[in-house]
Amino acid sequence: MTDMIKERVPFVTPVVTGPVVEKWLAEIEVAMVNGLYDSTKRSLLAYPEDGTNRTDWLLEGPFASQSQLLIDQIHWTNLAEEALNKIYAGQNENAMVENIEFHQAQLKNSVSIVRMQLTKLQRVLMGALIVLDVHGITVLENLVEAKVRSVNEFDWSKQLRYYWIAEDGDPAPTSLGNDVSDDCICRQTIAGFKYSYEYLGNTPRLVVTPLTDKCYMTLTGAMHLYYGGAPAGPAGTGKTETTKDLGKALAVPVIVFNCSDGLDYKIMGRFFSGLAQAGAWACFDEFNRIDAEVLSVVAQQILCIQNAIKERKTRFEFEGTTLPILWTCNCFITMNPGYAGRAELPDNLKALFRTVAMMVPDYAMIAEIKLYAFGYEDSRSLAQKIVTTYTLCSEQLSSQKHYDYGMRAVFAVLVRAGSLKRQQPQQNESILMLQSVNDVNLAKFLDFDVPLYDGITKDLFPG
């Protein structure tokens, strides 16, 4: 298997192509899952014992990056639960603090690797690993602050956790009924899901904020009860990206579908039939653009799929045809209630989804962690400067339709900053950040706004 940036993951057994396309394509799908499972198991066995210096395991190991991120999360869960069990048993009251110090040493080692000469593959992997590790440390610090002493407390169970269930242990039950043995299970609150091993490639991961955590918890809770999820909120708050990242966390393919008022129930029916057979997730962007009369029929189509999963059917009747169904399939919808021309969802459709409100994300926290992953040392103050620049621009510059100061604009600056850091690793970080902000923004400002913008940047980046 090869992804977009040329990461190669070998099949365990070869697949012979032939005239019956459907047959060997199905065999490729099985080989993909087996290949990623094999890579994950080898990666688990090869994980260094001390865990602090993982350079060889990360950069030299012949493993899929997706497997390595999963193993990192399994070890994080194991160490956290070991620390909580020691505290609960009265063996070591400082176990969690020591665990945090261990993870901080691990993170420091990862950041030092980012500042080395890396290939594109290695850089994307390290960026994703740092994003996950920073979130892991934040979670552990919150546990210490909340004085959590047991693995059964809600502050711990609400986290997305990963466990490797031993082959000789009892099979672990999941929310979808496919019990797990010698495999990975992902848990959050009362929900549990088998890791799906869909090869998604070496891709960046979303910075997890408290808002993201709440959204994850709502979506996994909805799936546990056989419902879909419905993140709602203004543009640029991460509704679609959070859904896609949860798909990456569980290794499920997510197909994003941009809805319009031109869709009818027949098109949607064909989409749902493919979805059920592939076991994928669909994320319908701006779902309330679809006409109200079409939405009523769509509600019945979604209900039909949800009932089939609930009743543990392997085949079900859909639109007059008997189809196979994989229980991992699900539907998520995102909505922006503020836009004009949006239909109100019918009640029979609302009942199939669990809503979660997405407010404005913490731009400074996201920028800080992304800059950290790019190898910036002074990431906290630089992130604050980006956010302050956009805040002052929104208050002082003229109001134009093409001016954007939201998360997408912040992210464009971060991507440029990462690119400049790779090209000029020894350059002053404030100079790189000022250049990034200018490169992204100067071209879009009107002439009479440029002097005001220059004044803002001179105040924030003196000298």
Give CATH 3.40.50.300 domain extents, the chain: 210-357
- Percent of the chain topping pLDDT 70: 98
Across 192-216, average pLDDT: 93
Tokens of 229: 């999820």
Are the beta carbons of 351 and 339 closer than 8 angstroms? Answer: no
pLDDT surpassing 80 at residue 176: no
> Residue 164's pLDDT is what?
92
| CATH 1.10.8.710, the chain: domain bounds | 363-460
**Average pLDDT taken over every residue of the chain:** 90
Handedness of CA 406, 408, 412, 415 (dihedral sign): positive
Contacts of 85 (CB under 8 A, 6+ apart): 151
Q: Where in the chain is the domain with CATH 1.20.58.1120?
A: 21-159
pLDDT in tens, 322-340: 999 999 999 999 988 766 5
463 vs 458: CA distance, rounded Å: 8
> How many CB atoms sit inside 10 A of residue 414's CB?
25
pLDDT in tens, 391-410: 999 999 998 888 888 888 99
Contact of 258 with 308, CB cutoff 8 Å? no
363-460: CATH topology is Helicase, Ruva Protein; domain 3 (1.10.8)
CA distance 428 to 17: 54
User: In which residue are the tokens 């665990």 written?
Assistant: 99
Residue pair 286/341 in contact (Cβ under 8 Å)? The answer is no
Show the beta-strand stretches assigned E in 227-303. Answer: 228-232, 254-258, 281-285
Cα distance from N-terminal residue to C-terminal residue, the chain: 50
For 326-349, b where at least 16 C-beta lie within 10 A, e where not — what string?
bbbbbbbbbbbeeeeebeebeeeb
Counting Cα atoms < 13 Å in the Cβ hemisphere of 126 gives: 30
* Segment 30-83, tens digit of pLDDT: 999 999 999 999 999 989 887 777 888 888 878 999 999 999 999 999 999 999
Q: Which fold has domain 21-159?
A: Methane Monooxygenase Hydroxylase; Chain G, domain 1 (1.20.58)
**CATH: 3.40.50.300, 3.30.300.180, 1.10.3210.10, 3.30.70.20. Which one for 210-357?**
3.40.50.300
The H or E element containing residue 331 is strand 330-333
Q: pLDDT, tens digit, for every residue of 224-241?
A: 999 999 999 888 888 999
How long a stretch of residues is the chain?
Answer: 463
Instruction: Read off the pLDDT of residues 358-382 as tens digits, 9 standing for 90 and up.
Output: 888 888 999 999 998 888 888 889 9
